[in-house]
Amino acid sequence: MRFYNREKELQSLKDIQAASHNSSKMTVIVGRRRIGKTRLIAESLSGVPYLYFFVARKDEKLLCEEFTTQIKETLGINIYGEISRFKDIFAFLMDYAERQPLSLVIDEFQEFNRINPSVYSDMQNTWDRKKEHTQMNLVLSGSVFSLMKKIFENSREPLFGRANERLHVKPFSVNTLKKILDENQPNYTSEDLLAFYIFTGGVPKYIESFIDRKKLSYADMLGEIFKENSIFLEEGKNVLIEEFGKEYTTYFSILSLIAGSKTSRSEIESILQKDIGGYLGKLENEYQIIRKVQPMFAKPGGKSIKYEIEDKFLNFWFRFIYKNKGAVEIGNFEYLKAIVQRDFPTFSGHFLEKYFIEKLALSGEWSEIGSYWESGFQNQIDIVALNHLTKKALLVEVKLNEKKYSEALLISKSVNLANQLKGYTLEFRNFSLKDM
């Protein structure tokens, strides 16, 4: 698959690589697994010799043997004697960068936390002493968000405050997804686009999997997900178990309930019969997997809070794969496809709303976008977009089928909201599949 989007991130990496010729620079890149961090880094260093170290979960001495071989092959220099500690490799490379510029990429950097946590303080010591008179472009990439956050954002950690640049690589936008389908499946339908949006979540690895196998219709993508040895079946576990550790079953239960439309804390606690405040806090702030959703104009911390899973693929995974893990284990893929086909119209409606919210945000026309509902989730309005400068408000009802839209009903649900928007010009719209 060709390289798409990432223009801003690419330019940032190229700029800092150029700046490293004056003094060493450290860049931290985070993003969930499969999001394309390594590809982005490689593109930014195209035409520039660089060292790439992947921190596999193995003994430090074995890692150093691999890294020493890569240094010899990439830089064409010999290292005499055996090096068994990463701090010595890093010091050697910083010395090398005194003589000429060097780009060093360390992927899955958080794994040193398991292998030898003292690596971080050793690196800090060397970095602080040598960064001003060396020319190293140091790129540190990681996919375990909680650990990367701890390493670089916790003031008690040795590498706190050392990064010159931090990049959070996110999924592709809806505009990019449309572009990809335009190029690879020109005759796609709106249903195909919505399924592509949900099944991939904008994650490049999943997109590439569908493109490589030419599975880009709704039915074909569904068949690709539910088959023997599909990469998608264990993906939720692969992405999240390391984040959650031994308490992953509780976290998975919470996420499964949220994906199944149990979106309030009280609903989840009544089912699990336990206090989940701490878990929700970590899922939102530490792991950044869920987010709070409140109606527009609601007071912060009010009773109207709902939760939603940010990652669209993980939402699908918890709703249909994890929930039906028994059928997954026995390989009953026809049953699984039938479940999705039965429930997808209802499930996908929420994601059609998210699609249009993202699309409106990309337009640059609005200063605030959200949803609206009143006590007891009454008078729900799917999308409210405001331009505080022009005093314009867009109120949107999202329907898969535009024939089910009633402007009179939308207006009647907006009476109280309209009172809070006095002085604004109100526009009432319906968005449906045909508007994608």
Position 176 pLDDT exceeds 90? yes
Sequence-distant (≥ 6) Cβ neighbours of residue 112 within 8 angstroms: 55, 86, 119, 120
Give residue for tokens 């508007």: 435
pLDDT grade for 260, boundaries at 50, 70 and 90: very high
pLDDT for 308-343, tens place per residue? 999 999 999 999 999 999 999 999 999 999 999 999
User: Helix 174-184 and helix 333-363: axis angle, to 10°?
Assistant: 120
pLDDT for 274-316, tens place per residue? 999 999 999 998 888 999 999 998 887 677 889 999 999 999 9
At 349 the pLDDT is 93
For the chain, give the mean pLDDT: 94
The rounded distance, in Å, linking the Cα atoms of 381 and 411 is: 10
At 78 the pLDDT is 84
**Rounded to the nearest 5°, which phi and psi values hold at 107?**
-95, 145
pLDDT for 128-156, tens place per residue? 999 999 999 999 999 988 899 999 999 99
Q: Are 32 and 203 in contact (CB under 8 A)?
A: yes
In eight-state DSSP terms, residue 414 is T
Q: Are 402 and 434 in contact (CB under 8 A)?
A: yes
| Lookup: tokens for 424 | 């604004």
Every domain of the chain with CATH number 3.40.50.300 lies at 7-168
> Domain 7-168 is classified in which CATH homologous superfamily?
P-loop containing nucleotide triphosphate hydrolases (3.40.50.300)
Percent of the chain with pLDDT over 70: 100
pLDDT grade for 192, boundaries at 50, 70 and 90: very high
The rounded distance, in Å, linking the Cα atoms of 35 and 41 is: 12
Looking at 109-234, list the stretches that DSSP marks H as alpha helix, in order from N- to C-terminal side: 112-115, 118-130, 145-153, 174-184, 190-200, 204-212, 218-225
pLDDT grade for 243, boundaries at 50, 70 and 90: confident
Average confidence (pLDDT) over 115-134: 97
Average confidence (pLDDT) over 169-198: 96
The rounded distance, in Å, linking the Cα atoms of 96 and 21 is: 13
Calculate ∠ Cα 218-220-225, nearest 5°: 95
Q: Are 338 and 417 in contact (CB under 8 A)?
A: no
The rounded distance, in Å, linking the Cα atoms of 232 and 340 is: 14
According to DSSP, the β-strands at 392-398 and 136-142 are unpaired
In eight-state DSSP terms, residue 160 is T
Position 376 pLDDT exceeds 90? no
- Three-state SS at 403: helix
Name the more confident of 81 and 385.
Answer: 385
Is 1.10.10.10 the CATH classification of the domain at 235-330?
A: yes
**Rounded to the nearest 5°, which phi and psi values hold at 306?**
-120, 160
Position 1 pLDDT exceeds 80? no
According to DSSP, the β-strands at 25-30 and 368-374 are unpaired
Every domain of the chain with CATH number 1.10.10.10 lies at 235-330
> Counting Cβ atoms within 10 Å, is residue 151 exposed (0-12), middle (13-18) or buried (19+)?
buried
At 19 the pLDDT is 97
Position 161 pLDDT exceeds 90? yes
